[in-house]
A and B are shown apart, each in its own frame.
Chain A
Amino acid sequence: MANKGWDEFEIGAMLRTFDGSIDDIAGTAQEDRSYSESSSYRASVADWRLEKPVFNKDYCIDCQFCWIYCPDVSIIARDKKMIGVDMDHCKGCGICVEVCPTNPKSLLMFTEQADEESEIASWPSKDEEK
């Protein structure tokens, strides 16, 4: 509703995902869709997050587990390749880290303030116990 005035809403607290009509939405990648300002895609909920997942592509096997399990559709994958995390919508639940099967994990949780590059540089090594 970001750009709507208080007296411009439609009945039923109903929001339009797009301004006007759309065509072949299933065949259009999310980043190429012209979402309206009132679409939840445009709304960031990043400030709900206390911890964030950091993705290290060096260990990722593109198994898609994180993509399937993410409850907020915040794992970005294209052509069955893991690309990263949608940090506007990720709420930091850590499920992606939990389900990641690689050793070491390709996703780990860090505090919101952590620097991604230095965390990847000091990524844990393979856990031989497992």
Chain B
Amino acid sequence: MAFDKMELKDIEVWDGNFAAAQAMRQCQIDVVAAYPITPSTPIVEGYAKFQSDNFIEGEYVMVESEHAAMSACIGAAAAGGRVATATSSQGFALMVETLYQASGMRLPIVLNVVNRALAAPLNVNGDHSDMYLGRDSGWIQFDAYCPQDAYDLNFIAFKVSEDHDVRLPAMVHQDGFMTSHTAQGVHTLTDDQGYGFVGEYKPMNDMLDFEHPVTHGVQTEEDWHFEHKARQHNDLMTKVMPKIQTAFDEFEKLSGRKYNIVEKYDTEDADVAVVCLGTSVETAREVAKEMRAKGIKAGVVGIRVIRPFPFFEIQEALKDLKSIATLDRSNPNGAPGMLFNEVAGCLFNTDTKVLLSGKVYGLGGRDLTKAHLVELFTELQANVDAGKLTTPQQQFIGVRGPKLSFL
């Protein structure tokens, strides 16, 4: 091989960005086309450093915008290569047009999204606005809660996305700064283990197969378009989850680290729980444990796969609870909030009598403190005791001024 392998310690101290860059290096990507944006910049910066230090054989393309970055990734994926990039916030927003091209053309691309607020007002800190913006784009979306997850989920994303039964692009989300810039101990795979897990890239209908020329990105009008889109949705709904489960199982065999489509913490005998994403899962777990010492049977449900949304797993996880709150870290702008909507959609038409409320929190990097969560779990217990919601259905957590509540 023309490039060097890197010796890693069993545990390295990495932040989420560097962990993602290392995973990308180990996956031996053919083309990374990237444009930097805070807080995801160190991913592509770190990757570029690996390339200039001869740890990478593939191409690194510097482009003029995020729209161009994803466009170049689409071209490279259609040509028949393993492809990835990274972005955040406004850059992600600029990519949106091409995200739909990638999924509609059924091209496996891995996009690391370091979640950040969307302007205006301009803000570089973490919330889930960009993640939510991508939720109808036809991509698979994985959510990391810490640098270790960001590292591991990159391998899993390539494995699932490139499967010939799937052929859908995948995002790996991590929280801006809270995960991306917070260094923690990360258990590593060796270069051979990492590459062995994702395996050699197997092209499908690639444009560089000169004996079988193909046209990618065709036009279809009312006579064809609906069938293509319906098939894409069908494959997301029926084919992706089993492949993710298989990838999680294989990854556990390789690393000993177990991932679940829905992560349940202390929910078996719980009365109350919060459903959340990202770093908040870890904070909520800590508080739930403390609430148990106070006599409140609290649990936490973390969603690992946001798209396709794990309807059946969520139904199963929540059916015996008495009062739950969804935590949306994105401004719903005139609606209850994505997690509230999806969770309500899971539970409607079922026998569960669980009380559901939705919270909006942490916009623009505002901290979700343990005190906020203590108050929330206490409120959920009050709902259980009263047998009904004791508050409006939608509330804002951690915003100054009079308590904001709606619905």
Rounded to whole Å, the gap between the CB of A37 and the closest CB of chain B is 13
Chain A CB within 8 A of B231 CB: yes
Q: Give the number of chain A interface residues (Cβ < 8 Å).
A: 19
Closest residue on chain A to residue B228 by CB atoms:
A13
Closest residue on chain B to residue A23 by CB atoms:
B211
Chain A CB within 8 A of B212 CB: yes
Closest residue on chain A to residue B166 by CB atoms:
A11
Rounded to whole Å, the gap between the CB of B160 and the closest CB of chain A is 15
Interface-lining segment among A2-10, A89-97, A100-108: A2-10
B residues less than 8 Å from A22 (CB atoms) = 211-213
Closest residue on chain A to residue B216 by CB atoms:
A14
Chain A residues 27 to 66 lying within 8 A of chain B, measured CB to CB, are 39-40
Interface-lining segment among B104-112, B341-349, B361-369, B399-407: B104-112
Do A9 and B210 have beta carbons less than 8 Å apart? no
Rounded to whole Å, the gap between the CB of A113 and the closest CB of chain B is 27
Rounded to whole Å, the gap between the CB of A73 and the closest CB of chain B is 14
Given the known interface contacts A1-B224, A6-B227, the answer about A11 and B106 at a Cβ–Cβ threshold of 8 Å is yes
Chain A CB within 8 A of B13 CB: no
Mostly, the B contact residues are: loop
Do B105 and A14 have beta carbons less than 8 Å apart? yes
Q: How far is the CA of A25 from the CA of B227 in the complex (A)?
A: 32
Chain B residues 162 to 179 lying within 8 A of chain A, measured CB to CB, are 167
Closest residue on chain B to residue A26 by CB atoms:
B210
Chain A CB within 8 A of B218 CB: yes
A15-B218, A16-B213 provided; 11 other pairs, C-beta below 8 A?
A9-B228, A11-B106, A12-B104, A12-B105, A12-B106, A13-B224, A14-B205, A15-B214, A17-B213, A17-B215, A25-B213
Chain A CB within 8 A of B333 CB: no
B212 interface neighbour in A9, A12, A16, Cβ under 8 Å: A16
Q: How far is the CA of A1 from the CA of B104 in the complex (A)?
A: 17
A residues less than 8 Å from B211 (CB atoms) = 21-23
Q: How far is the CA of A40 from the CA of B219 in the complex (A)?
A: 11
Q: How far is the CA of A44 from the CA of B215 in the complex (A)?
A: 17
Closest residue on chain B to residue A7 by CB atoms:
B227
Closest residue on chain B to residue A12 by CB atoms:
B106
Q: Give the number of chain B interface residues (Cβ < 8 Å).
A: 22
Chain B CB within 8 A of A123 CB: no
B224 interface neighbour in A9, A16, A17, A40, Cβ under 8 Å: A9
A residues less than 8 Å from B105 (CB atoms) = 12-14
Closest residue on chain A to residue B219 by CB atoms:
A13
Q: How far is the CA of A9 from the CA of B224 in the complex (A)?
A: 9
Rounded to whole Å, the gap between the CB of A14 and the closest CB of chain B is 5
Do A13 and B218 have beta carbons less than 8 Å apart? yes
Do B205 and A13 have beta carbons less than 8 Å apart? no
Chain A CB within 8 A of B350 CB: no
Rounded to whole Å, the gap between the CB of A6 and the closest CB of chain B is 5
Q: How far is the CA of A25 from the CA of B211 in the complex (A)?
A: 8
Q: How far is the CA of A72 from the CA of B397 in the complex (A)?
A: 58
Write the B186-222 contact mask toward A (1 if CB under 8 angstroms, else 0). Answer: 0000000000000000000100001111111110100
B residues less than 8 Å from A39 (CB atoms) = 215
Rounded to whole Å, the gap between the CB of B80 and the closest CB of chain A is 12
Rounded to whole Å, the gap between the CB of A38 and the closest CB of chain B is 8
Rounded to whole Å, the gap between the CB of A109 and the closest CB of chain B is 26
Do B213 and A18 have beta carbons less than 8 Å apart? yes
B residues less than 8 Å from A15 (CB atoms) = 214-215, 218
Q: How far is the CA of A21 from the CA of B209 in the complex (A)?
A: 10
Closest residue on chain A to residue B232 by CB atoms:
A11
Q: How far is the CA of A22 from the CA of B211 in the complex (A)?
A: 5
B residues less than 8 Å from A25 (CB atoms) = 210, 213
Q: How far is the CA of A1 from the CA of B228 in the complex (A)?
A: 13
Q: How far is the CA of A25 from the CA of B212 in the complex (A)?
A: 10
B residues less than 8 Å from A40 (CB atoms) = 215
Q: How far is the CA of A23 from the CA of B167 in the complex (A)?
A: 28
Q: How far is the CA of A15 from the CA of B233 in the complex (A)?
A: 20
Most A CB atoms within 10 A — which of B104, B212, B220, B223?
Answer: B212
Most B CB atoms within 10 A — which of A14, A17, A25, A40?
Answer: A14
Q: How far is the CA of A7 from the CA of B223 in the complex (A)?
A: 12
B residues less than 8 Å from A16 (CB atoms) = 212-215
Do B167 and A11 have beta carbons less than 8 Å apart? yes
A residues less than 8 Å from B216 (CB atoms) = 12, 14
